[in-house]
A and B are shown apart, each in its own frame.
Chain A
Amino acid sequence: MLAYIIRRLFAVVVMLLVVTLVTLSIFFLIPKMTGSDPAAMFVGKQADPASIEAVRQKLGLDEPILVQFWHFVSGIFVGRDYTGGGDTIHCAAPCFGYSFRTEQDVSTMLVDAFPVTLSMVIGAAVLWLVLGVSTGVVSALKRGTIIDRAAMITALAGVSLPIFFTAMLAMLVFRTQLGWLNASYVPISESFGGWFGGLLLPWVTLAFLYAAMYARLTRATMLEVLGEDYIRTARAKGLPEPVVLGKHAMRSTMTPILTIFGMDLGALVGGAILTETAFSLHGLGGLAIKGVSERDLPLILAVTLITAACVVIANLVVDLLYAVIDPRVRLA
């Protein structure tokens, strides 16, 4: 088990290095192919060529791709200095680059944004997992009844409606009309009530979409599992129904759900862009949008890296959990 975890962690590191290199290469190649100059984007519209060249050097854009890669990776461990024009900017370790748009360390921006996204995603994930799985199980057990139909129609609506629509609808009803909630994020360290109130709508909105998908997936899987021979055997042995469902059926049902859950969770941490934008939450998704719209390369690189890290780590956790849920799985 330990050897398995070490091997997987090693693979995670290699994966992240590859992602970094690929992302850097894209930034390196695209300007060359399109004839645009990233340095020119950082200087004013009246800048002369000498100023553009000085900024290019300061950003390290004049260096070969592998040197840029080395500087980036080493900066994460030992920090990095950006020198030019008689000014030196120190980016302390772990340095994920420096945003010349906002004149901030990217790490500072990430530290600021990460708790917002994490709060939103974890809260929503708890909601959608509980609601989605329980709805799916009930639907499967009450197959063909009015409960099943009502649950699946609601789930269909959840899957069908785009999140920006449900977000606007939720804000319209619960904030504008009823005045129950505000949509401003408050850090949990400042006020638990403010944090909870500010995130409730994003949680519900995000969970509505995902719970719908999980309910449909759970129902389908559960129905399939309930038709398996070992369930019939368990019932034939006279096991009580709660044990058959809880101990035998649920374990198998949860395996594919857990797989999807790991990927969804990882991807959402990297960028629940629509939800964050709709609710004006300043999380990683917002940073990604900002990075792309302003061509802030260090910011894009860092968010890409964080997203990749979240996805691979979430998948690792899921793989480990397989063994806990399903005794047939053995990690080696």
Chain B
Amino acid sequence: MLKSSQRRIAAGALLAAATMVAATACGGGAKSGDGGNGKAGAPGFNAGVNKVANPSDKKGGELKFIGSQEADSWDPQRGYYGFVWDFQRYYTRQLVTFKAEPGSASTELVPDLAADTGKISADGLTYTFTLKDGVTWEDGKPITSKDIKYGIERTWAQDVISGGPIYIQQVLDPKNEYKGPYKDTAPDKLGLKAIETPDDKTIIFKLPAANGDFLQMLAMPAASPVRQDKDTKAKYGLNVFSSGPYKWQSYTPNKSMKLVRNDKWDQKTDTVRKALPDSISVTFTTNADDMDNRLIEGEYDLDINATGIGSSARQKVLQQHKENADNPQTGMIRYAVFPQTVIPNIECRKAIIYAADSKSLQTARGGPQAGGDIASNMLPPGLKGADPKADPYGKLGGAPDLAKAKEALAKCGKPNGFKTTIAVRNNKKIEIATAESLQQSLKAVGIEAEIDQFDGAQTSGIIGSPKVVKDKGYGIIIMGWGADFPTGQGFLQPLVDGRFILQSGNNNFSELNDKAINGLFDQALKETDPDKAGELYKQINTKVSEAAVYLPFTHEKNIIWRSSRLTNVYTADAYNGRYDYASLGVVK
């Protein structure tokens, strides 16, 4: 007779076996829903990467998004998640926006509400825009320059409209003198002096110091117009008044959203948004694995978050539905950074870089497809000035260079290695795996690294505090970074400009403060020619490598699902490798 525990195991094993049989039986049997699934009609693996899959201009149908992560806010001035910026273009417009083209061509800025990309004064301090004729709100009233100014002013009210990017505020009002429209004593609430609106069609920005990326900041949803009489302040994100091709029909936070055509939007005024579907729905689910299954079944068209298919469905997709998958770069870089306050000797830092096994780190990140390409420097491909082949420490081969690591250790004065601590967020499974991989590699040269998993929700107060980093002896920090806008400034400056070292919320974890690098940033910011600025960012990147404060792991890639019925699908570098949502359709 079986004992209780044996019975328990036997019963469990029986049911597990039954499940596996059921799971195997259903392996290739995804049923067809109206979303269209599987092989029929899918143009092939990576068909949407750097080119357009299923080109079509046919209108109609409902585009169905699903996601496991809600927006931080749908308010144009409050959202900061990448997918939110992509999606918000359905119901917001900006003076300029990113070109509707696949891949890196998407990073070019084109006029949106403005008639052109602006007239920039010779000193780079004044930007003047004239609005197009016929641009309207969802009630048919014209969008005016004052609406744009008011929308931008909202970002100053951080005590009410919190959470969004404040680049424009930092550029136009670095001393933060304006207090936002809700505390504005001017009768029209348009008291921000750095923006002038001489008439309803003209808007002039006056910068106290030149910034070559100012147009990039104006392309963010945070620079969208908001009409004063429709501004519900903190609650605006629950029902945004539309200036784009779709307007809100319904929204229940964490559950669903439905957008329908804005019949007051005029296609002739918009060269970017195709507005192909008749309606757009978003469903939020709490079960990410179930979400992947529903995508495969054809119930939905794509994952709004685009963070990649989960590990449990990934193999099934790659083996049975590969033609429905794309494998783009996300623009994120995954890396380890070495705080100089803890490891001040450059040769000790070099020893870590040489000893690291890049191939093993790539595997820990999920391999070449789900993890990304091995990175050898800190500027991701696609940005002006990037050179993915620049490999000063020989990382692209994948194998560690133990001889050079030992040589560096000898120069560092610690030929037998040293002890340090790797700090890693406790809520990022993959980052913990990379920390363990790095720990193993370093052992080979005698570097004993202890792993400290800190509360990932408290990142800004723990690794974002140079004092805490020093007190805890974090010699290695595992992190990731993506640019808010696709230039060297957007990507590199918070990480390596010494003037960006903060006492809380710091991102320059290495505390690199090199006069030459800081000076190059000043030059690059004044440069309005993106190619010339790119050359300067290339020089900065070289100097960062020379300082040996970063060990880049991967230029991140992920595997995203594209339903067979989706048309005009392509990934855009401007949206961190996500599909350009504003171009998608569902009728072939």
Contact = CB atoms under 8 A, between A and B. Distances in A.
B415 interface: no
A54 interface: yes
A320 interface: no
B164 A85 contact: no
Nearest to A294: B457
A154 to B, nearest CB: 8
Interface in B168-208: 170, 176, 180, 182-183
Interface residues of B, number: 55
A14 B523 CA distance: 66
B287 A48 contact: no
B182 A85 contact: yes
Contacts of A46: 165-167, 170, 505
Interface stretch (A71-79, A121-129, A218-226, A276-284): A276-284
Nearest to A109: B253
Contacts of A289: 286
Interface in A123-172: 153, 156-157, 160-161, 165, 168-169, 171-172
Nearest to B234: A103
A50 B158 CA distance: 9
A155 B536 CA distance: 70
A189 interface: no
A173 to B, nearest CB: 6
A290 B254 contact: yes
Given A34-B455, A43-B158, A51-B158, A112 B166 contact: no
Given A44-B166, A169-B19, A280-B285, A183 B461 contact: no
A157 B455 contact: no
Contacts of A34: 455, 458, 461
Contact of A37 (B80, B165, B285, B461): B461
A157 B180 CA distance: 62
Given A45-B460, A280-B290, A51 B297 contact: no
B349 to A, nearest CB: 27
B482 interface: no
A1 B460 CA distance: 57
Contacts of B253: 102, 104, 109
Interface string A101-113: 0111000010010
Nearest to A45: B505
B104 interface: no
Contacts of A168: 289-290
Contact of B7 (A40, A153, A295): A153
B217 to A, nearest CB: 12
Contact of A86 (B12, B160, B297): B160
A314 B579 CA distance: 50
A282 B157 contact: no
B160 A87 contact: yes
Interface of B: 7-8, 11-12, 14-15, 19, 22-23, 25-26, 29-31, 73, 80, 157-160, 162-167, 170, 176, 180, 182-183, 233-235, 237-238, 252-255, 285-287, 289-290, 293, 297, 455, 457-458, 460-461, 468, 504-505
17 contacts: A36-B455, A40-B504, A44-B166, A47-B158, A50-B176, A84-B160, A85-B157, A103-B234, A109-B253, A112-B252, A169-B15, A172-B23, A176-B26, A277-B286, A280-B286, A282-B255, A295-B457
Enumerate the 9 nearest inter-chain pairs by beta-carbon distance, A residue then B residue, closest first: A86-B182, A85-B159, A54-B159, A51-B158, A280-B285, A85-B160, A43-B162, A157-B11, A44-B163
Given A168-B290, A280-B286, 11 more contacts: A37-B461, A42-B162, A43-B158, A44-B164, A48-B176, A54-B159, A86-B157, A102-B253, A176-B31, A177-B29, A280-B287
